[in-house]
Amino acid sequence: MQMRKLGKSNLEVSALGLGCMGMSFSYGPPKDKKEMTALLHAAVERGITFFDTAEVYGPYTNEDLVGEALAPFRKQIVIATKFGFDLSGSDTRPGVAGLNSKPAHIKEAVEGSLKRLRTDVIDLLYQHRVDPNVPIEDVAGAVKELIAEGKVKHFGLSEAGVQTIRRAHAVQPVTALQNEYSLWWRNPEAEVIPTLEELGIGLVAYSPLGKGFLTGKIDESATFDSSDFRSTLPRFTPDALKANQTMIDLLGQIAAQKKSTPAQIALAWLLAQKPWIVPIPGTTKLHRLDENIGAITVELSADDLRNIGSVASKITVQGARYPENLEKMTGR
């Protein structure tokens, strides 16, 4: 397994991480605990060292799963988790649950995460979404104190705007920004990626396979259970799925030339963008884990990358990536 450093920090992780959310939350009913434990163990055996979770996934159940399954390997892996939602109400779904990044709440959240993750230190702690009611300097200051106490090693932000990143970084260096980034969501290229490069901050790319779409296995006839987050997304309506097949056609053509799969081309493209970008595709299936890891050995030439970028930039992706209530939580 190749390794990468997140920006100028000394945090070294596997070139591909594993997003664990879907094992417990968001993509249909929670999956079988024994099967997911076996999958997490298989990921470690294959060289993956970077695992992503959050207290809101479940809530809490995903951290429990990850903490218990990875306890035997704790010294050789990096676990990232997130705070920032108010989980005291009856409806704890992101977008419904309110935001809370008050310093006292951050410290409470970290104590809970440490217990569930069965660890005495969190390797990378993200603010899950920017809280407009709490100055980012106060958030960064609270995490700085947790780092001084030895409870957290690295500070991260998720879906933050450029000015917020700069303000936070001035108080406590930001190791990584977690953002959606893929061939069908390239908005970070305009301002975010240049800012990260300037400041020496790594990018952790979530949904690098477009929530499954870029695997080429989802078409306009796809149906999603009401417990599947994608059933609420404008980009996953039948009309949008039909319109967006052009992107799959492009990936399929290149995959055929490279004797690989559309998913592997999508991941290889991301890995080739910057040496400090680490995609974290999520999966609940062993064959998909192996397919994703295979992307690391796919070689895209400069001509390949130019061709993919040029053709992809002419494709207008149909449908917003989030409903309005969730989209307004990003880019703050």
User: What are the beta bridge partners of residue 5?
Assistant: 12
Superfamily of domain 3-212+262-298: NADP-dependent oxidoreductase domain (3.20.20.100)
**Number of C-beta neighbours around residue 223 at 10 A:** 7
**304 touches 254 (CB < 8 A):** yes
What pLDDT does 314 receive?
A: 87
User: Rounded to an integer, what is the distance from CA 26 to the centroid of its chain?
Assistant: 13
pTM of the entire predicted model: 0.96
Residue 58's φ and ψ, nearest 5 degrees, are 135, -70
The set of catalytic residues is 57
- H helical segments located in the chain: 33-45, 61-70, 103-116, 136-148, 162-171, 192-199, 238-243, 245-258, 262-273, 286-294, 302-313, 324-327
What pLDDT does 108 receive?
A: 97
What pLDDT does 312 receive?
A: 87
Cis peptide before 59 (omega within 30 of 0): yes
**125 touches 175 (CB < 8 A):** no
User: Rounded to an integer, what is the distance from CA 93 to the centroid of its chain?
Assistant: 17
Residue type, 45: E
Locate the domains of the chain by residue range. 3-212+262-298
Q: What is the mean pLDDT of each run of 10 residues along the chain (332 residues)?
A: 94 98 92 98 98 96 98 97 90 75 98 98 98 98 98 98 98 98 95 98 97 91 89 92 91 94 97 98 97 96 90 89 91 94
Tokens linked to 14 = 């596997």
What pLDDT does 313 receive?
A: 87
SS (H, E, C) 217-262: CCCCCCCCCCCEHHHHCHHHCHHHHHHCHHHHHHHHHHHHHHCCCH
What pLDDT does 96 receive?
A: 67
